[in-house]
Chain A
Amino acid sequence: MIALDIAINDKQYDNSSSVVLKDIKFTVKPGEFVAIIGPSGSGKTTLLNMLSGLEEATTQKILCNAQPIEDCKELQLGYIFQQPRLMPWLTVQENIQLVLPTIQQTKISHLLAQVGLKGKENYYPKQLSGGMQKRVAIARAFAVNPELILLDEPFNSLDAPTAAKLRLLLVELCKSCNSTVILVTHDLSEAIYLADRIIFMSDSPSSIVHQVNVELPKPRKESGCNELAWQTKLLQQHPDILSGILKTTE
């Protein structure tokens, strides 16, 4: 299982002088599910992109099991983006096959059955609904047996019942893979439902303003009494936490 040690001093884009991320330091334990919450434009996606190697900061140190993440060539990574990002010219099956080094028909069929897309193997993405496309993206991420899964607001464009179903699916798949998970979201109830720990980020230039362990037993319920009570208590203590401001009332 993968443990992460993240230290990003500052990140700014080449074409802009403004700093996106500043002094981001946190660790992720093996198999831990961490949710990151922050206001829009706080650089949450940038952070995930840096963990996945798509972007780099001027000064960063990301360690994966005590090794620089750039050197972890064998690290199996699953990334579920905001948009499904499927290849429109490939069928559902081919889209999953794309990320696998060898042809693994049985594995793909099994995964598709798990995500409820049995019989849709030969459909093209545009023939599927948004929720179904997201399921394919989830199946693609789990096809590589990921040790680390990055989720970037994966359910934000879906209707509530579909999002709830997919969250349940995600919990099952994560459990079966023993993966370390980092979820970026702006939905506090989603974070409480899924995560072991929640990290709150401030507005840009972002830094971590608060971290809290979700001390609720699993499996949790979406909008369950305990979960709602926990959320209410947190928001009472820090009323502006979702805007990235740590104001304490007690």
Chain B
Amino acid sequence: MSPIYGRVIILFILASIWQLVAWLVNSSDFPSLLTVMESFHYHFFQGDMLVNLTVTLKRVLLSFIIAMILGVIIGILMGTSKRLNQLSDTLLIIVLNVPALVTILLCYIWFGLVESAAILAVVINKVPTVVVMIREGARVVDEDLLDVAKVYKLSITKTFFKVFLPQLYPYIMASARAGLSLIWKIVLVVELLGRSDGVGFALNTLFQFFDIAGILAYTFAFISIVLAIENLLFRPLDKLIARGSHHDRT
């Protein structure tokens, strides 16, 4: 049986269990899958779901890109320079452990309930986790390969992009994967606390009306998008990065 059939069957079984339990419980607090689908249809075609999803995705994408670029740069610097690492290690641990909610609230208080404050709050929350992962990668870079670059007098850009950075790709991929799931969760909190659009705002409104089916419909929509990103972006990238790492011999 091909893995795709297996996955579909598991999803089908889970959906059946959900439908059965909802039917047994028979309460509006636990809507059936069909009710959630109806709600999804309603919010998608008649409500603001598409607008909210677009707004949230834009925020997720923007903060993801900024956090990854900053995290990779700082991580490489800390991983390759012992002195810088010693200087900023404590700061990193502090930032890593400040609760996300505190950063969000402080950003809103200091910079106002504006878009840039929302993005900044998400970025501040994400950068330290990227830094930690990339720093570990930069610490274990193979010096022997860098010696090859030095002996053959490769330019700095060639050494960086062809010899150094490829060694960090697995670490960048791992932090990107972990990053995306963390970021969209934080974005939702940011929206819930201080924005008037986006999925977080919509969930807050649905919560006011105790619309459980609506909340689940939004969750369903977002999970579908994350699954699509995983399959269309991360898996092909995984294959690209893993090139040359298999062990078939001629």
Contact = CB atoms under 8 A, between A and B. Distances in A.
A125 B245 CA distance: 9
A127 interface: yes
B250 A85 contact: no
Contacts, number: 67
Interface string A91-126: 100000011000000000000000000001001111
A54 B158 contact: no
B250 A128 contact: yes
Contact of B250 (A53, A54, A123): A123
A87 B166 contact: yes
B150 interface: yes
A87 B144 contact: no
A53 B163 contact: no
Interface residues of A, number: 26
A120 B250 CA distance: 10
A53 B151 contact: yes
A99 B152 CA distance: 6
B147 A89 contact: no
A123 B145 CA distance: 19
A144 interface: yes
B162 interface: yes
B244 interface: yes
A165 to B, nearest CB: 17
A144 to B, nearest CB: 7
B244 A54 contact: no
B229 interface: no
Nearest to B151: A79
Contacts of B244: 88-91, 124-126
Interface in B223-250: 241, 243-250
A90 B162 contact: yes
Nearest to B166: A89
B148 interface: yes
B162 A83 contact: no
B249 A99 contact: no
A126 B154 contact: no
Given A54-B147, A54-B151, A85-B145, A98 B162 contact: yes
Contacts of A123: 250
Contacts of A52: 151
B152 A85 contact: no
Contacts of A140: 152
A85 B144 contact: yes
